[in-house]
Homo-oligomer: A and B are copies of this chain.
Amino acid sequence: MKKLILTALLIAVFGLTAHAQQALFASQNIKSAEVNKDNTVTFRFIAPNAKKVQIAGDFAPKAENNPIGGMVGTGLIDMKKETDSLWVYTSPKLASELYSYMFVVDGVVTHDPNHPYLFRDFGTVSEYFIVGDTPADMAYNYKVNNVPHGTLSRRWMESKMLNTTRRINVYTPAEYEKNPNKKYPVLYLLHGSGGDEDEWVHFGRTCQIMDNLIAQGKALPMIVVMPNGHPAMEAAPGESSWGLYKPFHSRVYSGDGTFETHFAEIMKWAESEYRIQADKQHRAIAGLSMGGGHTNTISRLYRNTFDYVGLFSAGLIRAGRGKFYDNMDELLQQQIKDGVKLYWVGVGTEDFLYKSVQDHLQLLKKYGQKYTYRESGDGHVWKNWRIYLSEFAPLLFK
């Protein structure tokens, strides 16, 4: 029916034939993923010839060996064939969260043609949806709400050190352009080893979280700088002169201190391109996994530069990892002596880095550094990092 109305409309306005515009619209008259009022979620998929349709998602029971790859840790749930062609699954009530999913049709991973919202996480693409409609819900702040919106600038910076031009994402708060003489504090937000400069924007929902926290008066207006943490990369996959290659991790990972050294250029660039309060009191740095490792190293190396440090499920590099990291222990003691206003550490109880993070807390205790520790559930997953950003940002620059 909608299609008929549309067709009539288009013919009336433009003299379009129905044919010509069909390409614009998915032709399946079903909704999926449908978040129901009671926070159950219904998934629908049309596959008349399939023998089995399953769903994988971070709401599914955990499983060690998921044969499909790409979304390890989630089991597969069988969907039910309700008509000749329609497969359906309705989840239990889900907690407020951003979730991702994939369909698996007779063993083949596929996406949902009725849900065009996808994230790329390194080489894997999955659908996502959000449960949580009221301000009391954690995921409410992951949504675009009717609040003033900041700007996301997809910039490029020249790196003399790396002899290349590198992509960098910058969030400026909604009021930034309205206050041309005001300077702002800055948060450097670093991604994990499987990520790139787009990761905090997409999976991290950084723009939405910051817009909402600032609008609610919970966080101060601040600039968030999201660089690419792999010195070998110009930019996220598909956004560089490498073309549309198949992303693989070993091509880009560097654990030799290059990024940490290059970070001086990033800071210099940000401070010259944006109205940043360029002092220790107004600088924060945080990162997840590898980015937590970078945060740990950078905040020690650059003396009296950061008053706010956030380690999110940090992949901590310690002494013994090569020359660059040799005096890490000394540097930590120096950092503590110099003073850090907020030392924030978060990790999930099921994270494979849990033990390593606990060891770090012991070290902080040993050297007398106060810290805020946030232990959440789950493992090494985006759910935790969105929560950590949502809780860390309100503590900054106050």
Chain B residues in 8 Å Cβ range of A167 = 149
Q: How far is the CA of A42 from the CA of B246 in the complex (A)?
A: 14
CB closest chain-B residue, reference A110? B110
* B115 and A244 within 8 A (CB): yes
Is the CB–CB distance between A121 and B16 below 8 Å?
no
> In the docked arrangement, what's the CA distance between A77 and B354, Å?
50
Contact B249 A116 (CB under 8 A): no
Please tell me if the beta carbons of B108 and A47 are within 8 angstroms of each other in the complex.
yes
Q: Do residues A249 and B24 form an inter-chain contact, with CB atoms below 8 A?
A: yes
Q: How many chain A residues touch B (Cβ–Cβ < 8 Å)?
A: 100
CB-CB under 8 A from A154, the residues of chain B are 151-154
The answer on a CB contact under 8 Å between B124 and A23 is yes
**Cα–Cα, bound, A114→B50 (Å):** 22
Bound together, the chains give a CA A64 to CA B181 distance in angstroms of 59
Partner among B106, B240, B379 whose Cβ is within 8 Å of the Cβ of A144? B240
A150 to B204, CA, bound (A): 25
- Name A20's contact: one of B124, B145, B379 (CB within 8 Å): B379
- A243 and B130 in contact (CB under 8 A), knowing A113-B70, A250-B5? yes
Inter-chain CA distance A124–B117, complex, in Å, is: 10
Judging by beta carbons under 8 Å apart, are A122 and B24 in contact? yes
* Copies of this protein in the complex: 2
Q: Given that A151-B156, A152-B153, A246-B114 are contacting pairs, would A143 and B25 also be in contact in the complex, using a CB cutoff of 8 Å? A: no
Q: Which residues of B contact A17 (CB under 8 A)?
A: 352
Q: A353 on the interface (CB 8 Å rule)? A: yes
Which of A14, A21, A72, A121 gathers the greatest number of chain B CB atoms within 10 Å?
A: A14
Q: Are A31 and B246 in contact (CB under 8 A)?
A: yes
Contact A105 B116 (CB under 8 A): no
Residues of B contacting A241 in the complex (Cβ-Cβ under 8 angstroms): 143-146
B24:A194 contact, CB within 8 angstroms:
yes
In chain A between 151 and 186, which residues have their CB closer than 8 angstroms to a CB of chain B? 151-156, 165, 167, 174, 177
Contacts of A289 in B (CB 8 A): 14
Are A121 and B70 touching (Cβ within 8 A)? no
Q: Is the CB of B70 within 8 A of A26?
A: yes
| Assembly CA distance A17 to B5 (angstroms) | 55
In the complex, chain B residues whose CB is within 8 Å of the CB of A145: 241
| Residues of chain B contacted by A31 (CB below 8 angstroms) | 246
**Inter-chain contact B237/A22, CB cutoff 8 Å:** no
A-B contact pairs, 23 of them (CB 8 A): A6-B248, A9-B250, A16-B315, A20-B352, A22-B69, A24-B123, A25-B249, A27-B69, A31-B246, A47-B108, A105-B105, A106-B106, A109-B110, A109-B113, A116-B123, A116-B125, A116-B247, A117-B237, A117-B244, A118-B120, A144-B235, A146-B241, A149-B167
Considering the complex of A and B, which 6 residue pairs feature the smallest CB-CB distances, nearest first? A27-B69, A24-B194, A110-B110, A149-B156, A14-B315, A13-B255
Interface residues in chain A, defined as those with a beta carbon under 8 Å from any beta carbon in chain B: 2, 5-6, 9-10, 13-17, 19-28, 31, 46-51, 64, 69-73, 105-111, 113-118, 120-125, 128-130, 143-146, 148-149, 151-156, 165, 167, 174, 177, 193-194, 235, 237-241, 243-244, 246-250, 253, 255, 273, 289-290, 293, 315, 317, 321, 352-353, 356, 379-380
